[in-house]
Chains A and B, each alone.
Chain A
Amino acid sequence: MAVSGWFVLLVAFGVVPIAVSGDPAMFLYWLAFCLVVGFIDLAIAASPRAVRLERDLPSRLRLGETVQSTLLVTNTGRRGMHGLIRDGWPPSAGATPRRTRLAVPAGERRAITTTLTPFRRGERRAAHVTIRSFGPLRLWARQATLSVPGAVLVLPPFNSRKHLPSRLARLRELDGATSVMVRGQGTEFDSLRDYVRGDDVRSIDWRATARRAAASGPGLVVRTWRPERDRRVVIIVDSGRTSAARIDNEPRIDTAFESALLLGALASSAGDRVDLVIFDRRVRARVQGATGAELLSRMVSSMAPVEPELIEMDWSAVPSLVRSVTPHRALVVLATTIDAPGASRGLLSVLPQLTRRHTVVVSSVTDPTVLDATHSRTTRDEVYLAAAAERALLDQERVAAAIRQLGGDVVTGAPQELPPALADRYIALKAAGRL
């Protein structure tokens, strides 16, 4: 039950008859009048329970996008319904308007449209719908909450896809342009073609030239190479304690997701097979065996509900995890944090096992404010802060050096710069044939 502002006005208006009549008993008469009118209004209000509700909303959207959620209200009662309706979305779903006026004649159906602009990744659930149905005098209202579950999956935004075209272009440059490239391990024979001026003379295939000369006349033939295809890329994203930290108002795990998505898109179009595992002490999400467009769609939907857990990453389980993903040699990308030697001990202890079989790249987000803090040293507080920042940089540098010593590779960058940096490292490794 609820009352309206009109009822409050009605009660307050009683001052006039009391003042005009001058009779104190008028107070009680007026109160009784208000109550009787209110109860009558309540009795003839339409029942908010006699409705059928249906939801019509898309199942998924990217973070930052806006979708329309439609709620169809069918009045199954015998009286027309006037009132308010509220769709119970959590605040992070960014639902507007919060409450809507409702007017549904008996037996008819109306659509209530709510605009959703979620501001957090993950699954956003609408728990219930509340209807407040006023009587014909708009004084008192009946109210009921109905359970109409609904949910949308808010996917990671993949803002770094703006870097994809330029990286794809560089991949294509690698392809077939290998006569100028020093060929190495991991490149494979592509085709034979005529020699053109500028080609590396070392790539002339003399045997093919001879065969050709016998068949159709003179002319040099060169072999071309292309980067090896069907390599394996395994991305392990650390969803443990350290990934909850925010840098530039973005949790580390979100940056790791952006990097993983860009790398996944790039590697799958380069013909490599990409597998993703999100792990802390147990597997939070796993995408395996998907290719092409399906890969990205499965990656984003498996990433969407994952939030950082406040537990320590279990590095000792990672080698067997990688082995379970692929028994072959692979590029293993560990998206984690290298902040302090103490915190990275687990990572450093299992790294030799990984580097023995695989190419390992550790990608970590660095805090741009740390670097800024080392430069400004005008006051006493700032000097101490700069010292602490230098110490932090030193710690990171020590961990990175240790990783390099153990045969791994390190990519660091600010949240905006890490995804393209990781993609560039992948292209470099591919060009060098180290996959």
Chain B
Amino acid sequence: MTDQQTMTRPAIGQPAADTAVLTPRARTVLRRWLFWIGAGLVALVIGVLAFAFAGSAAAGGYLDPESAAPQGSMAVAEVLRQQGVTVVVTTSLEDTQQAIQSPDATSLFVYDTDQLLEASQWRTVAGLTHRVIIADAGFVTLRVAAPAVAQAGVVDGTLSADCDLPVVQRAETVTGSGTGFRVVDDAATATACLGSGDGVFSLVEVPRGEGTVAILGATDAVTNEQVVDNGNAAFALGLLGEDETLVWYLPSFADVESTGPATLGELTPPWVTPALSLLVIAVIAAAVWRGRRLGPLVIENLPVTVRASETMQGRARLYERSNARLRALDALRVGSVQRLAATCGLSRLASVDDVIGAVAAATGGQVGAIRGLLVDDIPTTDRDLLALSDALLTLEREVTRALRP
């Protein structure tokens, strides 16, 4: 029985005997999550390792000495290192200048794949060491570093040794696919090798100052893919391994000199970025401050809310949507007839005809008109319905006024 339940229900107005702590201790939480923390760390390590191993093979561009891809040149660089040549890879002119300790004992290999360097920079590059090898030299490069040489289109096929250079002699045959060059200034003392006919050569050496500048067109011979073909290996190692140190310079965006006004990043003081980061952290701390709930939510059993008039409104909308004018009017008429009967003092069981008679007698109206209003008229439009509804109300008022002044 419910009153007994009320009495046996615990702790109504009674102090709690013992206060149990619901929040678990930090240790317990940590132990509970230990597995997932461990699993997350393992997944992270696996991801990092996978990225490290997979990334090395995929990345790297043409003639990149750190790329093991077919287009890279890791093979040549590694063999040179094994042979005792110090291979230094640089990506900016500044680094290159720092890497060259003794210009007389250093070779410089330059491959500017994106034509990033400008004429003034090429002038510097060409004079950095006593031996500069420029792969795939462009128009600007040639004009600055070797004015006597000009580009001569694409070369293909295998080329044979045809000059005195010991490098070429040792190699005997070299894969020639790459670019060809032509010596345009007859007066210049240029050594042109690996000709493919029509005055086109794939290796041209021109003296410059105290050193030499070698323009290399047969670049495919240095790639991992083709270095084992023909005499490519001997050619590449001989060309690049002449000195104790080889600086392998691949110009990057760091060499592009900015022009125009200083950017926003250059104008801002160095402390702005850390200050902004600190403010972001402060905002996160504020989110924790405001977001931390003071205890769990309390469950509220909500009562059922049913508005009693909903069925009435639903029925009204049904009448309206189906244009049930007559049905709606009949409901109004029945209500009116009952009220009129009560007003006229008739019994609840009085017939409609009795009511019509009583109403006609009370108001002095015509029986036909009242009968039409209360029974016979059929509304065809909503306007009719409104008019009849108003007439019913008027009739009720008139009868009330007539009988109860």
Interface residues in chain A, defined as those with a beta carbon under 8 Å from any beta carbon in chain B? 1-5, 7-8, 11-12, 14-15, 18-19, 21-24, 26-27, 30-31, 49, 51-60, 72, 84, 86, 88-92, 99, 120, 123, 126-130, 132, 143-153, 244-247, 251-252, 283-287, 298, 301-302, 305-308, 310, 339, 367, 369-370, 373-374, 377, 380-381, 383-394, 397
Across the interface, B319 reaches (CB within 8 A) one of A52, A285, A384, namely A384
Q: A21-B271, A153-B6 are in contact. List 16 more A-B contacts (CB 8 A).
A: A3-B292, A7-B289, A11-B278, A27-B274, A27-B275, A31-B278, A55-B16, A60-B13, A145-B22, A146-B22, A245-B308, A251-B303, A285-B2, A302-B3, A369-B309, A387-B331
CB neighbours (8 Å) of A123 from chain B are 9, 12
Please list 20 pairs of residues, one from A and one from B, whose beta carbons are closer than 8 Å in the complex, sorted by A's number: A2-B289, A14-B275, A18-B278, A27-B274, A53-B19, A58-B13, A59-B12, A60-B12, A88-B295, A90-B300, A120-B303, A144-B22, A145-B296, A149-B10, A284-B2, A339-B311, A370-B312, A380-B382, A383-B386, A389-B316
B334 at the interface (CB under 8 A from A): yes
Please give, as numbers and ranges, the residues of chain A lying within 8 Å of B305 by CB-CB distance. Answer: 244, 246
Query: Using Cβ atoms and an 8 Å threshold, which residues of chain A touch B15?
Result: 54-56, 72
A387-B331, A394-B335 in contact; A14/B315 too (CB < 8 A)? no
Knowing A24-B271, A383-B385, the reply to whether A302 touches B285 (Cβ < 8 A) is no
Within 8 A of A (CB), among B309-329: 309, 311-313, 315-317, 319-320, 327-329
Identify which of B294, B327, B334 contacts A130 (C-beta below 8 A): B294
Per-residue 0/1 for B175-186: is the Cβ within 8 Å of any A Cβ (1 yes, 0 no)? 000000000000
B58 interface residue per 8 A CB criterion: no
What is the chain B residue whose CB lies nearest that of A31?
Answer: B281
With A149-B11, A150-B13 already in contact, the answer to whether A385 and B292 are too (CB < 8 A) is no
Assess whether B20 is interfacial by the CB under 8 Å rule: yes
B contact set with A: CB distance below 8 Å: 1-3, 6, 9-16, 19-23, 26, 269-271, 273-275, 277-279, 281-282, 285-286, 288-289, 292, 294-296, 298-300, 303-309, 311-313, 315-317, 319-320, 327-329, 331-332, 334-335, 338, 382, 385-386, 389-390, 393
Interchain residue pairs A-B with the least CB separation, the first 9: A130-B295, A27-B274, A59-B13, A387-B328, A388-B316, A390-B335, A245-B308, A12-B282, A285-B2
Contact of A380 among B11, B285, B320 (CB under 8 A): B320
Residues of chain A with a CB closer than 8 A to B317's CB: 384
Task: Tell me, in angstroms, the Cα distance from A23 to B26 when the chains sit together.
Answer: 37
For B24, the closest partner residue in chain A by CB is: A144
Q: Give the Cβ gap from B316 to chain A, nearest Cβ, in Å.
A: 4
In the complex, what distance in Å separates the CA atom of A44 from the CA atom of B166?
A: 80
**B332 partner residues in chain A, CB cutoff 8 A:** 377, 383, 386-387, 390
CA distance A425 to B35 in the complex (A): 73
Contacts of A246 in B (CB 8 A): 305-308
What is the minimal beta-carbon distance from A378 to any residue of chain B, in angstroms? 8
Contact B312 A151 (CB under 8 A): no
Query: Given A146-B22, A377-B390, A388-B319, are A3 and B285 also a contact pair (CB < 8 Å)?
Result: yes
Output the least CB separation between A391 and chain B (Å). 4
Q: Does the CB pair A128–B296 fall under 8 Å?
A: yes
The chain A residue with its CB closest to the CB of B314 is A388
User: Do most interface residues of chain A lie in helix, strand or loop, or is the interface mixed?
Assistant: mixed
- The DSSP consensus for interface residues of chain B is helix
Which residues on the A side are within 8 Å of B299 (C-beta)? 90, 127
Residues A298 and B3 in contact, CB atoms below 8 Å apart = yes
| B15: min CB distance to chain A, Å | 4
Residues in B whose Cβ lies below 8 Å from that of A145: 21-23, 295-296
Q: Are B312 and A11 in contact (CB under 8 A)?
A: no
In the assembled complex, which residues on chain B have CB atoms less than 8 Å from the CB atom of A385? 312-313, 316
Q: How far is the CB of A293 from chain B (nearest CB, A)?
A: 15
State the CA gap A51–B299 with chains docked (Å): 25
Q: How far is the CB of A177 from chain B (nearest CB, A)?
A: 33
Are A252 and B308 CB-contacts (below 8 A) given A91-B300, A127-B298?
A: yes
Q: How far is the CA of A298 from the CA of B397 in the complex (A)?
A: 50
CB distance from A283 to the nearest CB of B (A): 8
**B389 → chain A closest CB, angstroms:** 5
Q: Which of B20, B285, B296 neighbours the largest number of chain A CB atoms within 10 Å of its CB?
A: B285
Task: Contacts A55-B15, A386-B332 given; indicate if A377 touches B393 (C-beta within 8 A).
Answer: yes
Residues of A within 8 A of B334 (CB): 390, 394
Cα-based distance from A285 to B295 in the complex (angstroms): 35
B275 x A19 contact (CB < 8 A): yes
B307 pairs with A302, CB closer than 8 A: no
User: Which residue of B14, B309, B311, B393 has the most chain A CB atoms within 10 A of its CB atom?
Assistant: B309
B23→A247 contact, CB < 8 A: no
Q: Are A143 and B308 in contact (CB under 8 A)?
A: no
- Residue of A with least CB distance to B300: A90
A33 to B244, CA, bound (A): 51
State whether A245 touches B316 (Cβ < 8 A): no
Are B275 and A15 in contact, CB atoms less than 8 angstroms apart?
yes
Given contacts A244-B304, A385-B313, contact A3 B288 (CB under 8 A): yes
Q: Which residues of B contact A7 (CB under 8 A)?
A: 285, 289
Name, among B1, B19, B273, B385, the residue most crowded by chain A CB atoms within 10 Å (CB to CB): B19
Bound complex: CA A219 to CA B307 (Å): 66
Instruction: Chain A residues near B298: list those with CB within 8 A.
Output: 88-91, 126-128
- Who on chain A is nearest to B319 by CB? A384
Chain B residues within an 8 Å CB radius of A244: 303-306
By beta carbon, the residue of chain B nearest A380 is B382
Q: How far is the CA of A245 from the CA of B6 in the complex (A)?
A: 26
Q: Find chain A residues with CB under 8 A from B9 CB.
A: 123, 151
Return chain A residues, CB-CB under 8 Å to B309. 367, 369-370, 373
A383 touching B328 in the complex, CB below 8 Å, given contacts A3-B285, A18-B271, A152-B13: yes
Whether B335 contacts A393 by the Cβ 8 Å rule is yes
Q: Residue A146 contacts which of B20, B282, B303, B393 (CB distance < 8 angstroms)? A: B20
How far, in whole Å, are A14 and B282 apart by their CA atoms in the complex?
9
Question: Taking CB as reference atom, which chain A residue is nearest B26?
Answer: A1
A416–chain B nearest beta-carbon distance, Å = 15
Whole-angstrom distance between the Cβ of B142 and the nearest chain A Cβ: 44
Residue of B at shortest CB range from A26? Answer: B274
Decide if B19 touches A22 in the complex (CB within 8 Å).
no
B295 touches A86 (CB 8 A): yes
Shortest Cβ distance from B291 into chain A, in angstroms?
10
CB–CB B11/A310 < 8 A: no
Q: With the chains together, A385 CA to B312 CA distance in Å?
A: 7
Q: Complex formed: what's the CA distance from A129 to B16 in Å?
A: 12
B16 touches A149 (CB 8 A): yes
Q: Decide: A8 and B289 in contact? CB cutoff 8 A.
A: yes
Residues of the A chain whose Cβ atoms lie less than 8 Å from the Cβ of B23:
49, 143-146
